[in-house]
Amino acid sequence: CQLGVNQTGLPLLYIDNGVAKAEISLFGGHVLRYQRHGEPASLWLSDKAVLDGSKPIRGGIPVCWPWFGPSPARVGSGKPAHGFARTSLWTLDGVSDHEDGTLVHLSLTDNDATLAIWPHPFELELDVLVGRELSLVLTTRNTGADPIVYNAALHTYLQVSAPEAIEIQGLGEPYLDKLSGQQACQQGSVVLNAAMDRIYQAPEALIEVQDGDRSSRVISGNHDSIVVWNPWAEGAAAMADMSDDGYTTMFCVEAAITADAGVTIAADEEHSFSTVIC
């Protein structure tokens, strides 16, 4: 395990524990890469990702917090999409050996910049376990005197071989189709053959992404939804930080808290949710 910087000075933690290797950026508290030895990479990272801290990183696992998508009415308009955790510099609190791998503990605490956007004292912690599985637990602690309300997502970009090979199981029903704005139901497994941006509101704990003869499993807990997203050709072409064909090798499966009411945390209380990629 080694803490270094990339060419643009971005602090990065490199882990290789003989079982798996991973790369974690302190900018965003962001897992960029994860790969078990002898296997293909599990996470997709855009070859056009901006890695200089000037904008959110396209790929890996961005932490969307304390809201998901555009800023909600309770926060006020014009705030950064998906919150500010993914564009804040986190602190590396520790790295330790664990029977299941290497445990990395990162944190973000309120500061002048966060208070200007969201006037609430907080401590945000991300525990990342790099082993035969990649496990993330995001804990929000309310260190202020008033209750706080939050939404969030662990916006996981999975690496896949080709869209037509993808079949997804465990998403449940109903879902909100963000592209049409319609509430809809889905029976059985889901196939990826066009742009998709959906919030599944009653998912199973285990989502299985079958990719030809390879399968990725995303197991999540204490969340209220799973977001699935692929921008397809037109969406990719509109993004400066994704190659035109980038959509053919990625698929987002995101453990998320998306309900309008969010999660309320009383003073001195905390709330955690998690995702495991295997």
Positions marked catalytic: 155, 254
* Listed residue (108, 218, 202, 106) closest to 158, CA to CA: 218
Q: Which of 90/229 has CB closer to ligand TA6?
A: 229
Is position 227 an interface residue for ligand TA6 (rule: CB under 6 A)? yes
Q: Which of 36/82 has CB closer to ligand TA6?
A: 82
Q: Which of 122/251 has CB closer to ligand TA6?
A: 251
C-alpha angle 166-277-202 in degrees, rounded to nearest 5: 70
Is position 229 an interface residue for ligand TA6 (rule: CB under 6 A)? yes
User: Smallest distance from the beta carbon of 69 to ligand TA6, in angstroms?
Assistant: 5
CB within 8 Å of 99: residues ≥ 6 apart: none
Is position 197 an interface residue for ligand TA6 (rule: CB under 6 A)? yes
Is position 155 an interface residue for ligand TA6 (rule: CB under 6 A)? yes
CB within 8 Å of 272: residues ≥ 6 apart: 137, 138, 139, 140, 222
User: Smallest distance from the beta carbon of 36 to ligand TA6, in angstroms?
Assistant: 25
CB 45 within 8 A of CB 157: yes
CB 59 within 8 A of CB 46: yes
Residue number of the CB closest to ligand TA6 reads: 229
Is position 69 an interface residue for ligand TA6 (rule: CB under 6 A)? yes
Is position 125 an interface residue for ligand TA6 (rule: CB under 6 A)? no
Number of residues in contact with ligand TA6, rule: CB under 6 A? 11
Determine the Cα–Cα distance for residues 12 and 226; give it in Å rounded to an integer: 28
Please provide residue 165's backbone torsions phi and psi, each rounded to the nearest 5 degrees. -90, -5
Q: Which of 95/197 has CB closer to ligand TA6?
A: 197
Q: What are the angstrom distances between the C-alpha of 26 and each of 51, 56, 71?
A: 11, 12, 23
User: Smallest distance from the beta carbon of 66 to ligand TA6, in angstroms?
Assistant: 15
**Which of 5, 41, 81, 115 is the binder for ligand TA6 (CB under 6 A)?**
81
DSSP notation for 101-146: EEEEEEEEE--HHHHHHS---EEEEEEEEEESSEEEEEEEEE-SSS
Q: Which of 41/179 has CB closer to ligand TA6?
A: 179
Determine the Cα–Cα distance for residues 129 and 99; give it in Å rounded to an integer: 10
User: Smallest distance from the beta carbon of 144 to ligand TA6, in angstroms?
Assistant: 27
- Which tokens is 147 given? 């209750």
**Which of 33, 82, 120, 223 is the binder for ligand TA6 (CB under 6 A)?**
82
Contact set with ligand TA6 (CB under 6 A): 56, 69, 81-82, 155, 178, 197, 227, 229, 252, 254
